[in-house]
Amino acid sequence: MEKRECPGCAMEVDADAEVCPICGYEFPKQSLGMKIMVWLMVILLLAWLLI
């Protein structure tokens, strides 16, 4: 399972955790629109590099 570092306490927590079980830090949720925009930018960058 993937892990990520909590910015509140620097402990490794599950990547899908919404709240750190150690310190209670609430991870911000990424909206679907933001995820789509990021993937679109990656695809456009790769297309630009390959041309």
- pLDDT tens for each residue of the chain, 51 residues long: 799 999 999 999 999 999 999 999 999 887 888 889 999 999 999 999 998
List C-alpha distances in Å: 1 to 4, 15, 21, 35: 10, 8, 16, 21
pTM of the model as a whole? 0.54
Count of H helices and E strands in the chain? 1, 2
Answer whether 9's CB lies under 8 Å from 20's CB. yes
One-letter amino acid identity for 48? W
Q: Name, in order, each residue with C-beta under 8 angstroms of 33's C-beta and a sequence gap of 6 or more.
A: none
